[in-house]
Amino acid sequence: MAQASQATAPRRWNQRTVAPWLFLAPGLFMFGVYVLWPIIQSVTLSFYDWNGLYNQDGQFTGRFVGMGNYAELMTDPAFETSLWNNLKWLVLYMLALPIGLFIAIFLNQTVTGIRLYKSLFFFPFVISQVVVGLIFAWFYAPNFGLFYLLTESITGKGTAILANPDLVTYGIIAAGLWPQIAYVMILYLTGLNNVAPDQIEAARLDGAKGWRMLWYVVLPQLRPATFIAVIVTVIGALRSFDLVSIMTNGGPFGSSRVLSYYMFEMALGEYGFRMGYGAAIAVVLFAIMMIFISGFIWKMWRDEKER
Amino acid sequence: MVHKLSGAIALGAALMLSTSAFAQDKRVVTWNADYDPIPLAAAEALIADFEAANPEIAVQLTNFDHEAYKNAIRNFLTADAPDLANWYAANRMRPFVEAGLFADISDVWANNGLMDSLASSVPSSTIDGKQYAIPYTYYQWGIYYNRDAYAAAGVEVPGAEGVSWDQFLANCEKFKAASIDCVTTGSSALWPVAGIFDYVSLRTNGYQFHSDLAAGKVSWTSPEARAVFDNLGKLQPFVTENHAAIDWQDAAAIFVQGKAANYVMGNFAVGVFKEGGMTNDNLGFMVFPEITAGVARAEEAPTDTIHLTSGAKNPDDAKTFLAYMASAEAQSKWNAAVGQLPTNSGATVDPADPFLTAGFQALSTATGGIAQFWDRDADAEYAKVGMEGFQQFLVQPEQLEAILARLEQARTRLYPQ
């Protein structure tokens, strides 16, 4: 068989070289159709001014505007707000790491019923983001929300976070942190299971404890968990859409918008249907994500090579 | 696989048979709509009447979920157009008209004398001198007030002709002293603030200025526009605090509980107020007070419409049905069932409903004109920028200059001078 194929074709086309591609084919096909093609289409669309309609004969009604959409983005105050809010999300979402680690260490002990406590702490990650958003929206609600009543009893005047343009983004980030901390915690809990007991033992014999033990012995062993936690937190912060949509619709007057929500608003929202502009925002968001994704891929590549 | 496929074909064929058997020798008119249960039942009753009068035509209504319809219409108009489709008047239908998806039905208007009977809706149904819509219902906006709240604050309840602007503001002071919100709204969805802004604008400068403002023809920094914000600023301290975080239904709860006295809203809210326990005894309606003396009174009345699509397969019979929907008899029946106002001036309104009667009275005597509502009079994108500005002003009135600058920037970008 191998001889026969070698006889008819040069050695490049033997079973060994074809087989990997055959196995890759379904994946590549899916990747091409559902990832690459939409990316190309979005980028193309971002050069057009199009309201999403085809005319009677099914012809595309868009108008080519070149870099027009991007030029408009540069002067768009709503885009600037979204960008700043995304930055707030990125920075504050990182709080999930130390808090998640703290809870994980706290729960990493053998007490009766610890499994129950662990699952209770993990619970917020299991429920849908929409539900998290609703719970927090009620928590913050003016007049009857728990938080409002709490601030009212302390300061005499209730604070309605979601109506306050300066606080609203922080309020939503706090809601997002709740499940994100649970997620990071579970990552660290599994990581803690793999911490070598003999190294802890050795460190203890050498007199390490407390912070020094955590910093020099435990944390280095948790590096893979930390790496994954950073990645999921960054991506979680950048694609924050559901909470914004559920809790405020980007309001009050657009002050809690983030890029992903602004993109949706412009392309598919009730007052939007500017497909080209929405696509331009998507391209910018993609470029920002690409920075982190390439870092992730680069590190994976390096680790594979070292092995 | 083969079995499944043939099963699907059989099922499809059975479905086709069942519908086509029904309309075997009838000419079919298809109609896509987005009705809630009550309007749907009313529409089906109208179809039954129409089919009885025109036995050779069958109208097939396909109903969509209200929110899903907004996206669905963009697809079905090009992919598989029905003969008729529901939508909204004025600028909301402009994208579809400009893409050539809604058909010109000026002949239906001309042949049925609709220019007279639907006179108040001619401007909102017309684009570039041609009619593209049949308006069949609208509802008034105005101030709904809670008589119990007035009594609790010791304020005299407005009479049938409403109150003056100065009196209204003076009342607001008294409500404030009694810890009652003078005006409530819930603007987390933005559009409710547009109702307040529209009325202050219509009463300050009149219909023509307001409609020019919505069309981007006037500067936001003009003295007239500033006058609107001045008047809005007088109202601002009396509007429910934190309205930006609540929905209009939440504000309705505040209103029903008597924690707010007035609510600038559309007539559709009456159902919600009554579900909350209000009755005709403690719920009142008045038109928005006159601000600048001598400005002809204009009102807001968003109109719902039916359109003939360009891809219609049976346009002739569809036009017959449109003419029927424009008639006084059909509009009286549909609107009586739904609790809204007919656009046909020959139609009748249920005299037992005080809000419909008051609304009909207010609209038929509005000599200034009928506005559609900010987000239908203005282009979608401009409308959104505007409403965000109004909302911000009602929260941060000290930011007026920044708001006006942003609105003006949006205007010069969207409407290059």
* A109-154 pLDDT per residue, tens: 888 888 898 889 889 989 999 999 999 999 998 888 899 999 999 9
> Does the distance separating the beta carbons of A53 and B70 come in below 8 Å?
no
Token representation of residue B389: 């500005």
pLDDT at site A111: 84
Which residue is closest to A251 within chain B, CA to CA?
Answer: B188
> Does the distance separating the beta carbons of A251 and B188 come in below 8 Å?
yes
B21 Ramachandran zone, left/alpha/beta (phi>0; psi -120 to 50): alpha
User: Domain residue spans in chain A?
Assistant: 2-36, 78-273
Long-range pairs for A289-295: beta carbons < 8 A, 24 or more residues apart? A289/A235, A289/A238, A292/A231, A292/A234, A292/A235, A292/A238
CATH code reported for the domain at B22-137+303-367: 3.40.190.10
CATH topology of domain B141-300+379-414: D-Maltodextrin-Binding Protein; domain 2 (3.40.190)
Distance from CA of A283 to the nearest CA of B (A): 21
Distance from CA of A182 to the nearest CA of B (A): 28
pLDDT at site B11: 47
Average pLDDT, chain B: 88
Which residue is closest to B94 within chain A, CA to CA?
Answer: A51
pLDDT at site A136: 93
| Residues 6+ away with beta carbon under 8 Å from B274 | B283
Q: Is B299 helix (H, G, I), strand (E, B) or coil?
A: strand
Intervals of CATH 3.40.190.10 along chain B: 22-137+303-367, 141-300+379-414
pLDDT at site A269: 82
> Does the distance separating the beta carbons of A272 and B380 come in below 8 Å?
yes
pLDDT at site A46: 94
B-contacting residues in A 238-297 (Cβ below 8 Å): 248-249, 251-254, 268, 270-274
The minimal CB distance from A56 to the residues B101, B389, B391 is found for B101
* A72 interaction partners in chain B (CB closer than 8 Å): 413
pLDDT at site B5: 46
Mutation to test the A interface, candidates B69, B188, B390, B398, most A Cβ within 10 Å: B188
How confident is the model over A288-304, as pLDDT tens digits? 988 888 888 898 888 88
How confident is the model over A257-280, as pLDDT tens digits? 999 999 999 888 888 788 999 999
pLDDT at site A8: 52
pLDDT at site A277: 93
The stretch A190-208 carries a mean pLDDT of: 88
pLDDT at site A52: 83
pLDDT at site A256: 92
Domain spanning A78-273: CATH superfamily: MetI-like (1.10.3720.10)
Distance of alpha carbon B131 from alpha carbon B117, whole angstroms? 14
Which residue is closest to A62 within chain B, CA to CA?
Answer: B99
Angle at alpha carbon of residue A196, lines to A191 and A202, rounded to 5°: 140
* B70 interaction partners in chain A (CB closer than 8 Å): 270
Token representation of residue A164: 């306050």
Distance of alpha carbon B393 from alpha carbon B381, whole angstroms? 19
* A54 interaction partners in chain B (CB closer than 8 Å): 78, 99
Q: Which contiguous run of DSSP H or E holds residue B329?
A: helix B328-338
Q: What is the dihedral of CA B64, B67, B69, B72, to 10 degrees?
A: -120
pLDDT at site B367: 82
Which residue is closest to A277 within chain B, CA to CA?
Answer: B381
pLDDT tens digits for chain B (417 residues)? 344 444 444 444 444 444 444 545 789 999 999 998 888 999 999 999 999 999 999 999 999 988 789 888 988 998 889 999 999 988 888 889 988 999 999 999 999 999 988 888 888 888 889 999 999 999 999 999 999 999 999 898 888 778 899 999 999 999 999 999 999 999 888 899 999 999 999 999 998 899 889 989 999 999 999 999 999 999 999 999 889 888 888 899 999 999 999 999 998 888 889 888 899 899 999 999 999 988 888 999 999 999 999 999 999 999 999 999 999 999 999 998 888 999 888 888 888 888 888 888 888 888 888 888 998 888 888 999 999 999 999 999 999 999 999 999 889 988 887
Whether the CB of A146 is below 8 Å from some CB of chain B: the reply is: no
* A160 interaction partners in chain B (CB closer than 8 Å): 241-242, 245
Number of residues that make up chain B: 417
> Does the distance separating the beta carbons of B101 and A55 come in below 8 Å?
yes
Whether A6 has a pLDDT exceeding 60, the answer reads no
> Does the distance separating the beta carbons of B380 and A273 come in below 8 Å?
yes
Distance from CA of A4 to the nearest CA of B (A): 38
Amino acid (one-letter) located at A206: D
Is the full-model pTM beyond 0.90? no
How confident is the model over A60-116, as pLDDT tens digits? 888 899 899 999 899 888 999 999 999 999 999 999 999 999 999 898 888 888 889
How confident is the model over B54-103, as pLDDT tens digits? 999 999 999 998 878 988 898 899 888 999 999 998 888 888 998 899 99
